[in-house]
Amino acid sequence: MQNRLLWTMCCAAAGLGFIVAVGLSQMAGQGWLVPLDDAFIHFQYARQLAAGQPFVYNPGLPPSSGATSFLYPFILGIGSWVGLQSQDLAGWAMALGFLALAGCGMWISRSAFHARLPFWLAALVGVGFVLSGAFVWHAASGMETMLITLATLAAAWGILVRARLIVVIAGTLCALLRPEGAIVAIGASAALGLWIVADQPANLSFAQRCAQSVRRSPRLWLIALIPIAAVAIQPLTNLVVTGSAVASGNAAKSVFGIIPFDLAYVIRRIFDQALQMVLGWFTVQDGWVFAGPWVGGLALIGWISLVRSRETRMFALYIAAVLLLNVLAIATLDTAFWHFRRYQIPQYALLWMLAPFGISALLAGLRFPVVRFAAAAATVVTTVGGLPFLTAYAANIGYVASQPLQMARWLSDHAAIQARVAVHDVGATRYLGGRTTLDIVGLTTPGAADYWRNGPGSVGEWIDSQRPDLIASYGVGHGLGLGYLEATDLYADVLAVYTVDFDPRLNVALAAPTQGIFRPDFAAADRSLDVQALPQVSTFLDGLTLVDQLDVADVSAERQHQYRWNNMRAPGGFPTEFQQYSAVGCSNLCEVMDGGRRISGRETFTLAATADAYFVLVMRLHGQSAGGFTVSVGGQPVAHRTIPELPGAFLELAAVIPASLAADGAFQVEIVADAGTIYQPYMYWLYGGDVPAVPTDPPLATFQDGAIRLDDAQVTTDGGTLSLTLDWSAVANQQPAGAWKLFVHVLDDDGRIVLQEDRWPGHNALLPANWVPGVIRDQIDWDIDALPTGRYRVMLGLYDPVTFERLAPTGADDELRLPAGEFTVHS
């Protein structure tokens, strides 16, 4: 009778919470809504399951493992199967959440009653839990959170009262509802096994009792192993349907997937997150009340009293093991504290289950009526302290209604039915938008998580490889990572933009100041496949053909070329960046969109070799800061290259690779950054062919004992334009050195400088230290309309841009300048 009354009271409390949540869910006037985009991911899997396509997210595409909960889409699928479509399925999800919430309250009330609390106090604890804002929020979130919490509490209750069937069922459900539910499942099987062993004669040793239990009770052992067996169902299913046992959600969220991997950082991150979680049991963190010092403190007292009693020791040790192992498991997630600690809710529920035993221990020791009322007050305070969650729920519903819902409706109304849409938050866009989605994060699109983990440069490469028709994602204000993409032609045409004024403290709907729908333009990405500047400023590649190429930050291309990289120190920022720049020295249309890495250590990779006699390695990089690096092949250094500081532009450099260094039909390339250098490679090309011809005509002048040759200099005028054309060259076995800059002075009859130009040769693209055999072309143009009538001389030279020291050429004047020619300005 009392159990029925407790159940009735918990259901009434849950019903009240459901009514409030429904009102908040529909307050935007847009129908049923839930605050988390992840819920819509489950809705889509459920709809496809009801349509006979289990584990398929986008109709017509291969299965994926984006539903982290194995069982939840099947439960939601019941609602879809009976006809609940579109947003109405959110009502079914909320009903399930509140029914589970009532069940949680029931287990907590029964635990309180088991702790010998008076009925009114036991009922108050259960009802207080049900009405607590944190748990109401998660019951209304549309996620499986309260279902896994219910199963966790049921397993604990079953162990407390030694109810084998409840333990088997609850442990199995935990394994199927969440990956971390495996902890409860293993604990359940362990408890069942210990009970079987404990039922054997006490005069036997533990090993003998174990052996005898297996002989005498094989059926009981098989039943005891059911929860553990259930742990294997999800990874085995993933392996069969997707080819990988690891769910894509885990791949996208695990701290073990951080790029670059740093074991010390991972251990520190796990420890910090675990510590913060444990402290959260006993404190109010960031103003949010989940258990608070009252429930947490009573739970600790209760646990101590339980572990001191032989009858309840197993229960106490089981709870401790589940809590601590759950903390460690969740601490391995980047998202450990997301969505108002969604993954930690079962922990807080277990504290609520322990708290009545703490009250009972205090009552037994103090025997003052005030203890009961203090416990009641603590329950009420904790419950009332959760009211801000209702404000947060209403806010997030509003954010969903203002952005993801509107974006989905735009796609449904305006996008072609066959359109493929790249999306950051994929749930509502796919479920309500009805268009095929490409999940940038990688939850529902196989393989994309690897790119996401590598940063925005790899994400941009992945989008380029997929060539979606549209992109539906965040705009300005969501963070630097997506900002890299927005600054390029991936967001070329703005089709729709939705703004929202949000409170960052309340936002878990992943709202942003702007979200929108964009049409990408891939022309600049197409140009990224080709060398842009070098053919325009040099003959380095004349007569050579492309042998192989490596697109850095493209994870697939990197794997094909056995690409590896590491850092000597953390370079800061993302491991990859995505940029759209023009190549230095390029005068025609040559703006390219490409992804690259940030490296302070070294990189190694393999490029195919051919039977050619001569090879040139071309490198595209971003010269954000000055530095240098050494290129080695097969362990032998072949070139050192200097990086000038040219932020906001791509730089193309070349290095000769001796054909003799090929091994087994390939070159093993290693590039090591100089100390203090942040090297940012984007693309590598390997060209092969015949050894280039050596210039035979005498040069006009040479620098560095012939390593730098000035072969020709022509001064011409055409109307009001003065042009200086220069041909430089380098020959084999005489590598120029230094970062010498070209200076050109136009002098009047009095020797005064009237025009001046300072830049590196090759249209500012080629420091002498970076030359390879071939001709480097320069053309400098000036407007001379404003020059007075007279005769002018053009002088040039090379100088160090740091010390301003000039390099001595042959045939120079006293100021180490070479005459390039003369011209006259007529009246």
Helix (H) or strand (E) holding 726: strand 721-730
pLDDT tens string 431-465: 999 999 999 988 888 889 899 999 999 999 999 99
Distant-in-sequence, close-in-space partners of 211: CB < 8 Å, separation ≥ 6:
none
Contact 520, 490 (CB under 8 A): yes
Q: How many CA atoms lie within 13 A of 361 on its CB side?
A: 18
Distant-in-sequence, close-in-space partners of 415: CB < 8 Å, separation ≥ 6:
421, 433, 435, 469, 470
pLDDT tens string 290-324: 888 889 999 999 999 999 998 999 999 999 999 99
- Stretch 321-340: mean pLDDT: 93
d(CA 130, CA 11): 9
d(CA 385, CA 379): 10
The confidence score (pLDDT) of residue 810 equals 93
The closest of 577, 586, 557 to 488, measured between CA atoms, is: 577
The confidence score (pLDDT) of residue 478 equals 67
d(CA 423, CA 316): 46
Distant-in-sequence, close-in-space partners of 367: CB < 8 Å, separation ≥ 6:
none
Residue type, 746: V
d(CA 368, CA 696): 108
pLDDT tens string 32-66: 999 999 999 999 999 999 999 999 999 988 888 88
The confidence score (pLDDT) of residue 152 equals 98
Higher pLDDT, 421 or 733: 421
Q: How many CA atoms lie within 13 A of 430 on its CB side?
A: 32
d(CA 525, CA 523): 5
Higher pLDDT, 257 or 187: 187
The confidence score (pLDDT) of residue 38 equals 92
d(CA 579, CA 449): 21
d(CA 561, CA 555): 10
The confidence score (pLDDT) of residue 763 equals 92
The confidence score (pLDDT) of residue 1 equals 67
Higher pLDDT, 297 or 246: 297
- Res. 485: pLDDT tops 80: yes
Residue type, 821: G
Higher pLDDT, 286 or 428: 428
The confidence score (pLDDT) of residue 375 equals 66
Residue type, 71: L
- Stretch 232-253: mean pLDDT: 82
pLDDT tens string 72-81: 999 999 998 9
Quickly list H helices, 132-177: 133-139, 145-161, 164-177
Q: Cα–Cα–Cα angle for 807, 810, 811, nearest 5°?
A: 115
Question: What tokens appear for 109 in the block?
Answer: 């009330």
- Stretch 791-803: mean pLDDT: 94
Contact 461, 595 (CB under 8 A): yes
Q: Is 286 helix (H, G, I), strand (E, B) or coil?
A: coil
The confidence score (pLDDT) of residue 21 equals 92
> Any idea what DSSP says for residue 521?
-
Whether cis (ω within 30° of 0) applies to the bond prior to 356 is no
- Stretch 213-226: mean pLDDT: 87
- Stretch 558-584: mean pLDDT: 89
pLDDT tens string 591-631: 999 999 999 999 999 999 999 999 999 999 999 999 999 99
d(CA 98, CA 34): 14
- Res. 367: pLDDT tops 60: no
Residue 694's pLDDT band (cuts 50, 70, 90): confident
Mean pLDDT lowest for which of 37-46, 119-128, 781-790, 806-815?
119-128
The confidence score (pLDDT) of residue 289 equals 87
pLDDT tens string 247-297: 777 777 888 887 777 788 889 999 999 999 999 999 888 888 888 888 999
What is the bridge-based pairing of β-strands 741-747 and 753-759? Answer: antiparallel
Residue 516: φ, ψ to 5°: -165, 180
- Stretch 727-753: mean pLDDT: 91
As a whole-number percent, the residues of the chain with pLDDT over 70 amount to 97
d(CA 444, CA 422): 12
Helix (H) or strand (E) holding 753: strand 753-759
d(CA 267, CA 655): 41
- 3 state SS for 464-516: HHHCCCEEEEECCCCCHHHHHHHCCHHHCEEEEEEECCCCCCCCCCCCCCEEE
- Res. 522: pLDDT tops 60: yes
Contact 619, 630 (CB under 8 A): no
Q: Cα–Cα–Cα angle for 786, 789, 793, nearest 5°?
A: 90
Compute the mean pLDDT over every residue in the chain, rounded to the nearest whole number. Answer: 91
**CA distances (Å), 534 to each of 86, 181, 525, 643, 707, in order?**
55, 58, 18, 16, 20
Residue type, 296: G
Residue 276: φ, ψ to 5°: -65, -35
Provide Rg for the chain, Cα atoms: 35
pTM: 0.90
d(CA 519, CA 526): 16
Contact 14, 102 (CB under 8 A): yes
Give whichever of 278-282, 358-362, 507-511, 565-569 has the largest mean pLDDT. 278-282
The confidence score (pLDDT) of residue 502 equals 84
The confidence score (pLDDT) of residue 368 equals 58
